[in-house]
Structure 1
Amino acid sequence: MSKPLQFSPLRVLQGAVIFLLLTLMLPAGAVTEIHTAAQEASEPKYIAIVNQQGKLAIGGMCVDIMRAMEKADPELQFTGDQLWQPRARIDAGLKAGNIDVICGVQRIARNTSQYQFAATPLFSVNYLLAVRADDIVAVEDWDDIRKLGNDGIILALRGFGIVDILTQMGGLKIDDTATSSISNLKKLLAGRGRFYCHRSPGIGLAIRQAGLEDKIRLLSKPQLTEKFYMGMAKTMSPELVRKIGASLVLLEKNGELKRIFERYQE
């Protein structure tokens, strides 16, 4: 007959200690670094701030959303949101594999050809038209602007989704050569355009920062409403896409996305 195996208490204890040490050495969850960038001239998605240490930093809705996503899922870590880049460079970075996500983009053809989208919208905005305060123009809809012809030039920002939307509407005169709101506001005052179309929140802040509250007014009509999403590289792994999507679902359900958006209302 074979003898039963015998284990000494010391060997059992040693084995348990070794197993515990090996378990502690295993990572609780692999942190995934997600590369992005702060889009220039996109206030309040990204805004220049002074942090608690008194140093210049980048804040805004997108930074708040990404920090909230990291809190919801500690395995997500966004990097690059403290570096300014123009939209064209961000898109180029995506193609080169240096950018993984862009925060706050619309479902328009130019974007869907480059990015895949998380299903949960980050926020919705209204596009408003700004005019000179002394301009008595009154328009009810986009047809009224079309009828103005060359007297109805709409200023917009180069590379921004609103340019694609206005162009698709047809018959509108668009000047998208400027790369910042302050440039378009100056062009508006100089008569180099009749309207400046930009999103709210954002356009009111730009007017205040330029000190032009008494020189520029916002029209109530016409308006456009657009949803903005988290855009992700099409080469991103399905598991990471799932994790990003799940974190946004959680933030939408617990009301955090709404709270972040409301902090930046004009």
Structure 2
Amino acid sequence: MTVAHGIGTKLLLAACLMPLPAAAAPAPIELRTAAQEGTEPKFIADGKGRIAGLCVDILRAIEHIDPGLRFVGDQRWKPLIRAYSELEAGLEDVQCAVQRTAERERRFNFIGPPLYTIEYHFLVRANDDVALQTWDDVRRLAPDGVVLVNRGFAAGDIVTAMGGIEVDASSTSPELNLQKLIAGRGRLYFHRGPGLQRLLQRTGTAGKVRILPPVMYSAKLYFATSKQLDARIGERLADALHQLDRKGELERLMRKWD
């Protein structure tokens, strides 16, 4: 054996013993979503050019449990009506914390456990001494009983289903409806908590509007996906959400933003 041949053999042996480079991890699957306007505490402008909130925390928690999933779009605002329309069309993949109704079940898939429960209250002008306990009390306010709701939100369907109540759903945001309420263009504003007191503080209306204590309606919110989303991805999302629920993480995040 020549010296050169011996050196070559040793080099070949050394190369064979070297560990193979690890296979590159597959890129995370990107799931398109959007920050829903007027839905705090789900999505809140943090004043520093970023969007924070309960749903943003839930999305990051899912990514932590399943690093193969990544949400994109939660830093872009969209009107709720547009966000839901794009979810139905498959232009978005998921939306966080959606109220489950028969109409929406025809448009979206709902997965996982309930994320949290919302409670609906009436808001009135601070100088209005009206007291309400039942929906019959609301009906008896007519003809001075117009109820303001956000267009595209489930609140309008809820009040309409009660019957005998005039509903104004022409405005798309809580800010606009609070201004209409203060201006006397509606007697009541029907909106859901958590986050009602925070909403009044943020909009500078805390001294002009008060929240009536009775809970007039409650509902659970769920994670919704496009019907075009691959069922296997939906299963991964549902599994991550169930893990968060079992660990008490959903409840902890809810308390953080309540």
Structures share fold, TM-score greater than 0.5: yes
Which residue among 22, 34, 37 is the counterpart of 1:37?
34
- Aligned equivalents of 1:15, 1:168: Cα separation in 2: 74
SS in 2 for 1:25: coil
More displaced stretch, 141-150 vs 70-79: 141-150
The question of whether the paired residues in 1 share the 8 Å contact of 2:97 and 2:115 is answered with yes
| Structure 2 residue runs without a partner (length 5+) | 1-8
The letter for the 2-side match of 1:255 is G
- Aligned equivalents of 1:12, 1:35: Cα separation in 2: 49
User: Counterpart in 2 of 1:25?
Assistant: 23
Matches within 5 A, 1:192-207: 192-207=185-200
SS in 2 for 1:156: strand
The question of whether the paired residues in 1 share the 8 Å contact of 2:112 and 2:239 is answered with no
User: Counterpart in 2 of 1:132?
Assistant: 125
User: Which deviations, in whole Å up to 9, do the C-alpha atoms of 1:121-153 show, x marking residues without a partner?
Assistant: 111111111111111111210111112222111
Matches within 5 A, 1:48-67: 48-50=45-47, 55-67=48-60
- Aligned equivalents of 1:247, 1:13: Cα separation in 2: 44
- Aligned equivalents of 2:239, 2:14: Cα separation in 1: 41
Matches within 5 A, 1:174-253: 174-253=167-246
Say whether 1:84 aligns with 2:77.
yes
More displaced stretch, 193-202 vs 72-81: 193-202
- Aligned equivalents of 1:100, 1:211: Cα separation in 2: 35
CA RMSD of aligned residues (A): 2.0
- Aligned equivalents of 2:135, 2:247: Cα separation in 1: 38
- Aligned equivalents of 2:49, 2:14: Cα separation in 1: 55
Question: Against the structure 1 CA distance between its residues 235 and 10, is the aligned structure 2 distance closer, same or farther, given a 3 Å change threshold?
Answer: same
SS in 1 for 2:220: strand
Question: Against the structure 1 CA distance between its residues 26 and 107, is the aligned structure 2 distance closer, same or farther, given a 3 Å change threshold?
Answer: same
Deviation at 1:180, TM superposition (A): 1.5
SS in 2 for 1:155: strand
Question: Against the structure 1 CA distance between its residues 95 and 140, is the aligned structure 2 distance closer, same or farther, given a 3 Å change threshold?
Answer: closer
Question: Identity of paired residues, percent?
Answer: 40
User: Counterpart in 1 of 2:135?
Assistant: 142
SS in 2 for 1:122: strand
Deviation at 1:98, TM superposition (A): 1.8
The question of whether the paired residues in 2 share the 8 Å contact of 1:139 and 1:222 is answered with no
Q: TM-score, normalised by structure 2?
A: 0.90
- Aligned equivalents of 1:79, 1:248: Cα separation in 2: 18
Deviation at 1:94, TM superposition (A): 2.2
SS in 1 for 2:50: strand
SS in 2 for 1:136: coil
- Aligned equivalents of 2:249, 2:50: Cα separation in 1: 22
Query: Alignment length, in residue pairs?
Result: 250
User: Which deviations, in whole Å up to 9, do the C-alpha atoms of 1:237-266 show, x marking residues without a partner?
Assistant: 11101100010011111111111111111x
- Aligned equivalents of 2:211, 2:124: Cα separation in 1: 6
Question: Against the structure 1 CA distance between its residues 16 and 234, is the aligned structure 2 distance closer, same or farther, given a 3 Å change threshold?
Answer: farther
SS in 2 for 1:151: coil
- Aligned equivalents of 2:67, 2:236: Cα separation in 1: 11
| Structure 1 residue runs without a partner (length 5+) | 1-7
SS in 1 for 2:45: strand
- Aligned equivalents of 1:171, 1:17: Cα separation in 2: 79
The letter for the 2-side match of 1:196 is Y
The question of whether the paired residues in 2 share the 8 Å contact of 1:108 and 1:164 is answered with no
Say whether 1:47 aligns with 2:44.
yes
The letter for the 1-side match of 2:84 is D
- Aligned equivalents of 1:168, 1:250: Cα separation in 2: 35
